[in-house]
């Protein structure tokens, strides 16, 4: 017999999702059967799989061949990696961090990388409950939001879905844009590894909205501020490329001119729910580019 007592972090989680994590080696069909016949009970009562857990609930598992999840083994971070994480945390409280990601740093493992900053922070805080609630590409730099526990993950994810978190970007594009302020609203869909502009009638298309403001104009470039109202994959890159002003250094949607840096930086983050507002200056690599 195994017993779990629900802590505050898991309050509101569906019973089946909690069990899937605790019993990761057990087929879901077997878990559902155990719930149905009363081999798994909550507070000594049968519950359906969609039951929402409450702090203090006691879960009893009485199936002999159900095995508890293995103890989590975290990455062993070097002192240099720990210093890197600490240096780039621009805000932290008990619930969240705001991290200033450098360009050419990956957020998650995969695509040839054994781990990213997400896995590093799970190790740093020694919890698998840490999650970034937004993400930016490897070549994109700037502010990302990390939730330190399950409750803040759910709250921040909901705030993001409801557009209550403001995010702004510095963007350097090719060409000279005449309008000082403009909005792009269109529909985007993903085809294999790229995102394309589609029509409103396309059932696979998702609406994408961005407000733009010109910060400065140069001989060959325009420096923009872009504020996302939706968070579609590659939204800024595709929208600006589609209007004929691709982002400098965007080899996927723009011009392959040998530029190694992607001039896209998440510089502003505002989370009213947690009374957080961060604004960074224009990055040095932007300034160096514009001096040339």
Where in the sequence numbering do the catalytic residues fall?
137
Widest CA span in the chain:
73
Cβ-contact 260, 267 below 8 angstroms: no
Cβ-contact 164, 209 below 8 angstroms: no
Phi and psi angles of residue 127, each rounded to the nearest 5 degrees, phi first: -150, 140
Q: Beta-carbon neighbour count of residue 78 at 10 Å?
A: 9
* Strand residue runs (E) in the chain: 2-5, 40-42, 58-61, 89-92, 96-101, 131-132, 141-147, 166-174, 181-191, 194-198, 206-217, 221-228, 264-271, 276-279
Regarding beta strands 58-61 and 194-198, do their DSSP bridges make them parallel or antiparallel, or are they unpaired? unpaired
Beta bridge partners of 206: 188
Place of tokens 């300034």: 287
CA proximity to 123, closest of 169, 87, 82, 156: 82
Q: Beta-carbon neighbour count of residue 39 at 10 Å?
A: 17
């Amino acid at each position: 017999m195994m017993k779990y007592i629900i802590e505050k972090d898991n309050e509101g989680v569906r019973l089946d999702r909690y069990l899937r994590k605790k019993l990761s080696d057990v087929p879901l069909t077997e878990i559902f059967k155990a719930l149905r016949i009363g081999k798994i009970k909550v507070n000594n009562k049968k519950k359906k799989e969609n039951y929402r857990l409450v702090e203090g609930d006691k879960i009893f598992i009485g199936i002999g061949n159900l095995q508890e999840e293995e103890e989590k083994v975290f990455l062993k971070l070097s002192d240099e990696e720990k210093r890197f994480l600490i240096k780039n945390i621009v805000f932290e409280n008990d619930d969240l961090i705001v991290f200033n990601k450098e360009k050419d740093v990956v957020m998650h493992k995969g695509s040839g990388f054994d781990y990213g900053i997400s896995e590093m922070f799970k190790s740093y805080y020694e919890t698998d409950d840490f999650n970034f609630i937004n993400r930016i590409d490897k070549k994109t730099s700037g502010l990302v939001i990390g939730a330190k526990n399950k409750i803040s993950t759910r709250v921040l994810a909901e705030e993001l879905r409801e557009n209550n978190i403001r995010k702004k970007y510095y963007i350097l594009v090719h060409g000279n844009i005449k309008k000082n302020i403009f909005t792009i609203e269109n529909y985007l869909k993903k085809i294999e590894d790229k995102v394309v502009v589609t029509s409103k009638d396309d059932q696979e298309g998702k609406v994408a909205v961005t407000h733009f403001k010109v910060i400065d104009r140069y001989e060959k470039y325009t420096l923009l501020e872009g504020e996302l109202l939706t968070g579609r994959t590659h939204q800024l890159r595709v929208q600006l490329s589609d209007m004929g002003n691709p982002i400098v250094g965007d080899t996927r949607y723009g011009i392959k001119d040998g530029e190694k840096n992607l001039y896209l930086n998440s510089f502003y983050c505002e989370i009213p729910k947690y009374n957080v507002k961060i604004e960074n200056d224009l990055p040095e690599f932007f300034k160096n580019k514009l001096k040339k």
